Copies of this chain bind each other. A is one copy, B any other.
Amino acid sequence: MNQINFKSAVVLVSGGMDSAVCLAIAKDMGISQINALHLNYAQRTEKKELESFNKLLDFYHIKSKLIVDVSYFAQIGGSSLTDKNIEVPVNQKPGETIPSSYVPFRNANILGIAVAWAETIGADSIFIGANQLDSSGYPDCRQEFYDAYQNVINLGTKPETNIRIVTPLINMSKKDIVLKGHQLGVPFELTWSCYKNSDKACGVCDSCQLRLKGFSEANLIDPIIYNR
């Protein structure tokens, strides 16, 4: 990541652990104006994630926020996260195949919205907590995808607009992310990563397993409560 002095950042905050660490990194870089963007794409866990989003914003004293309804993903279907006819995958080996929790082209859609908002409010950067090592094989979590999208931004916005995509977690493992968050004082207890929608995290879905593996390898205790 280049050390550019950004003045105003749109930060994608899902409510999960990765986006919380990404937000903490943007704050730690001294960016004066943070604008938090949350996407509601009608996934099973939206209520829990929105709750985490709002708690994180309170924690970091962030006032500028936008919550966008992208429930058209449920309309389009094709993913177990939004389509109730497809089971949530359990014990799928990460990286082996594209998991059924894949929402087609999700990150490109998220970036499109982030750029539209950034251009409107004059933000100069978009922070997204994608990471390619533990990304469950999603094709739109790789750095080359973000490089290609950067080119689209450069060509598709006004000449005077200058927006950079920043992916601070892209080459981190879950262990690295946990350690970085711990170092920056991220309130992990406020985050939600589980793909299932219940009071306690399930501990067995892909997302819970990746998270628990990260904490375990970092020799730290995950402060959220698991249903195990």
Which residues of A approach B to under 8 Å, CB–CB?
66, 68-73, 75-78, 98, 102-109, 111-113, 115-117, 119-120, 139-140, 142, 144-145, 148-149, 151-153, 155-159
Contacts and interface: CB of A to CB of B under 8 A. Distances in A.
A105 B112 contact: yes
A154 to B, nearest CB: 8
User: DSSP class of A's interface residues: helix, strand, loop or mixed?
Assistant: helix
Given A72-B68, A119-B78, A104 B157 contact: yes
Given A76-B117, A105-B116, A105-B157, 9 more contacts: A66-B75, A69-B72, A103-B116, A105-B153, A109-B109, A109-B116, A145-B152, A145-B155, A145-B156
30 contacts: A66-B76, A68-B72, A69-B69, A69-B72, A76-B116, A77-B120, A78-B116, A78-B119, A78-B120, A98-B158, A104-B120, A105-B112, A105-B115, A105-B116, A105-B156, A106-B116, A107-B156, A108-B112, A108-B152, A111-B112, A139-B156, A139-B157, A140-B155, A140-B157, A142-B155, A144-B155, A145-B152, A148-B152, A148-B155, A152-B152
A134 B72 CA distance: 31
A157 to B, nearest CB: 6
Question: Taking the full assembly, how many copies of this chain does it contain?
Answer: 2
A108 B115 contact: yes
Contact of A112 (B102, B112, B144): B112
